[in-house]
Amino acid sequence: MEKSTQINHPILPLLETRKSIRAFASTPVEQEKLNSIFEAARWSFSTSNQQPWRFIYAHKNQPLWQNIFDTLMDGNKPWNQHAPVLILALATKSMSNGNNYYYNLHDLGAATMAMNLQAVSLGLQLHPMAGFHKDKAIELLNIPDSLTPATVLALGYPGQDLSALNEFQQKSETTRGERFLQEEFVFNSKL
């Protein structure tokens, strides 16, 4: 599959500047900006307007931040030690009528993308991570069985200190990630 870093068709500037950074500035994230980011999730689309997203967040100066940090896999810990805010994103397993919620992770993903774009509009970046221990999150954060831990999000202002990053991560901070060409994933025919 062919990839490129070139943007071939016009897209929103917010999408162009969104990046999963690892180098965060030590500057705290203002609560008002964080509230604005969660408001973006609030207005995201969802199946039958079920709004399955739940978020547990903490600022670096709060003890809860350490609990979220402790759920991360070892490879994510060195660079996340500087993240001003950590957020655990969860999805409800059932719809309000008790049926299984088959599209809960899709809907949570849409909400986190809305959060991501809102963050960029405020001069921040949001880095979603699958590299965390779900069982540890359930234990440390008292997650009920009705919720699925889906991802941890690191939020903050872009920083310049790359010392906590390995060589690959340092390179990714200064380059744009390659993307598959549309021809690789868009079809106007049966598969």
Examine residue 156 and state whether it is found in any structural domain, yes or no: yes
Examine residue 27 and state whether it is found in any structural domain, yes or no: yes
pLDDT band for position 6 (50/70/90)?
confident
pLDDT band for position 160 (50/70/90)?
confident
Contact by Cβ (8 Å): 178, 4: yes
Strand-pairing partners, residue 147, are 92
Structure tokens at 14: 């917010």
Examine residue 173 and state whether it is found in any structural domain, yes or no: no
Confidence check: pLDDT of 175 > 80: no
pLDDT band for position 56 (50/70/90)?
very high
Please tell me which residue, 168 or 26, carries the higher pLDDT value.
26
> How many structural domains does the chain have?
1
Examine residue 181 and state whether it is found in any structural domain, yes or no: no
Three-state DSSP at 57 gives strand
> What separation in angstroms does the CA of 171 have from each of 75, 165, 174, 178, 188?
16, 9, 6, 13, 36
Range of the domain at 62: 21-160
Confidence check: pLDDT of 170 > 90: no
Predicted local distance difference test score (pLDDT) of residue 89: 98
Contact by Cβ (8 Å): 101, 94: yes
Confidence check: pLDDT of 174 > 80: no
Looking at this protein, which amino acid is placed at residue 177? Answer: G
CATH code where residue 37 lies: 3.40.109.10
Confidence check: pLDDT of 168 > 90: no
Three-state DSSP at 2 gives coil
Please give the mean pLDDT across all residues of the chain: 94
Confidence check: pLDDT of 163 > 90: no
Examine residue 56 and state whether it is found in any structural domain, yes or no: yes
DSSP string, 46-88: -GGG---EEEEEEETTSHHHHHHHTTB-GGGHHHHTT-SEEEE
Examine residue 187 and state whether it is found in any structural domain, yes or no: no
pLDDT band for position 133 (50/70/90)?
very high
Instruction: Give per-residue pLDDT as tens, 57-67.
Output: 999 999 999 99
pTM of the predicted model as reported, rounded to 2 decimal places: 0.93
Structure tokens at 42: 């609030």
Examine residue 31 and state whether it is found in any structural domain, yes or no: yes
Contact by Cβ (8 Å): 25, 158: yes
Q: Quote the CA–CA distance of 58 and 83 in Å, as a whole number.
A: 10
Strand-pairing partners, residue 126, are 155
Examine residue 186 and state whether it is found in any structural domain, yes or no: no
